[in-house]
């Protein structure tokens, strides 16, 4: 009997046309919700032995080839959730998402066993306010952190910004905030401490403009009636495209913030929300 092959058999009830690669969990999609033509979220079963820190990412794939394509995905639920949640782009010819966007409840999703990432509470020194700056699907790791009680133990106030091109692309963040305020575990603290600040760049909306412009002009602080950024008491996380990371990071560096990591916690941490066109992340 080949024990190694047996060890990789999917759990009972999970259907795959190909063997599950070694070191990979085969899980079942539980629910799928489409927000726009380009964006959807799904929830799937959680392997009982799988542990992660809120804000980390894992590698996700589909059982549609002998050697399936895996892509990095931020886990969008907190570490106490019984299921796993993901928020995804749909790239028309994308090797993974051209298929993943057709996911239905009951389908199998592959997930590598190890999670990692820098957008974790441990990588920041303590502070009073936590700013979470996101664009597009970059809100996913913050959907995990704003539902983790540890975030409210560490910070008095949490400001989550989300900038998208179009109003419809804000839907997931709006639902997330509403659900977080209603959540039995963190709702009370979130209603007191969590502020959602959505902005749009290519359509009219109540707040328009890139987060970089809103920080530099001071509009975000006037809108929210709060003090401007201060490295003595503020901590920040940034998640977006390479250009957004670069420009937002520059603003923080100019204001005296120091970049942190898992090894050396400091004032802010960054993680890209996707790889640029000429890089892959298989």
Ligand X SMILES: Cc1cc2nc3c(=O)[nH]c(=O)nc-3n(C[C@H](O)[C@H](O)[C@H](O)COP(=O)(O)OP(=O)(O)OC[C@H]3O[C@@H](n4cnc5c(N)ncnc54)[C@H](O)[C@@H]3O)c2cc1C
Ligand Y SMILES: NC(=O)c1ccc[n+]([C@@H]2O[C@H](COP(=O)([O-])OP(=O)(O)OC[C@H]3O[C@@H](n4cnc5c(N)ncnc54)[C@H](OP(=O)(O)O)[C@@H]3O)[C@@H](O)[C@H]2O)c1
Distance CA 139, CA 99 (A): 22
Q: Does residue 179 belong to the site contacting ligand Y (CB under 6 A)?
A: no
State the burial class of residue 222 (Cβ atoms within 10 Å of its Cβ: 0-12, 13-18, 19+). exposed
Q: Does residue 29 belong to the site contacting ligand Y (CB under 6 A)?
A: no
Partner whose footprint covers residue 135, from ligand X, ligand Y, none (CB < 5 to 8 Å by kind): ligand Y
Q: Does residue 118 belong to the site contacting ligand Y (CB under 6 A)?
A: no
Partner whose footprint covers residue 162, from ligand X, ligand Y, none (CB < 5 to 8 Å by kind): none
Report the greatest alpha carbon distance in the chain: 68
Q: Which stretch binds ligand X (CB under 6 A): 48-56, 125-133, 208-216, 266-274?
A: 266-274
Q: Find the binding residues for ligand X in span 89-108 (CB under 6 A).
A: 89, 91, 94-97
Length of the chain equals: 282
Spatial CA neighbour of 69 closest among 41, 43, 99: 99
Q: Which stretch binds ligand X (CB under 6 A): 71-79, 173-181, 208-216, 223-231?
A: 71-79
Cβ at position 138, least distance to ligand Y in Å:
8
Spatial CA neighbour of 140 closest among 53, 89, 80, 75: 75
For residue 196, give Cα distances in angstroms to 47, 61, 72, 143, 271.
Answer: 31, 31, 25, 11, 20
Judged by the rule CB under 6 A, the positions of this chain that interact with ligand Y are 38, 135-136, 163-165, 201-202, 210-212, 240-241, 243-244, 247
Judged by the rule CB under 6 A, the positions of this chain that interact with ligand X are 57, 69, 71-74, 87-89, 91, 94-97, 136-137, 140, 271-277, 280-281
């Amino acid at each position: 009997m080949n024990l190694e092959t047996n060890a990789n058999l999917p759990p009972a009830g999970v259907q795959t046309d190909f063997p599950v690669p070694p070191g990979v969990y085969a899980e079942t999609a539980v629910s799928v919700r489409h927000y726009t033509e380009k964006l959807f979220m799904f929830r799937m079963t959680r392997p009982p032995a799988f542990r992660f820190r809120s804000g980390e990412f894992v590698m996700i794939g589909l059982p549609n080839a002998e050697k399936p394509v895996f892509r990095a995905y931020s886990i969008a639920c907190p570490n106490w959730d019984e299921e796993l949640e993901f928020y995804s782009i749909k790239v028309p010819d994308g090797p993974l998402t051209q298929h993943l966007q057709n996911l239905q409840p009951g389908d199998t999703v592959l997930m590598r066993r190890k999670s990692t990432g820098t957008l974790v509470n441990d990588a920041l020194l303590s502070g009073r306010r936590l700013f979470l700056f996101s664009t597009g699907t970059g809100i996913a790791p913050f959907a995990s952190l704003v539902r983790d009680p540890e975030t409210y133990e560490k910070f008095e106030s949490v400001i989550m910004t989300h900038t998208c091109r179009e109003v419809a692309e804000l839907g997931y963040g709006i639902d997330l905030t509403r659900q977080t305020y209603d959540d039995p575990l963190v709702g009370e603290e979130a209603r007191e401490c969590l502020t959602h600040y959505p902005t749009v760049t290519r359509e009219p909306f109540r707040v328009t403009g890139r987060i970089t412009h809103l920080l530099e002009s001071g509009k975000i602080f006037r809108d929210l009636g709060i003090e401007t950024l201060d490295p003595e008491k503020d901590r920040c996380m940034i998640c977006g495209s390479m250009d957004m990371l670069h420009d937002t990071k520059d603003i923080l560096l100019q204001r005296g913030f120091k970049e942190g990591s898992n090894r050396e916690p400091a004032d802010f941490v960054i993680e890209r929300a996707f790889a640029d066109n000429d890089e892959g992340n298989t």
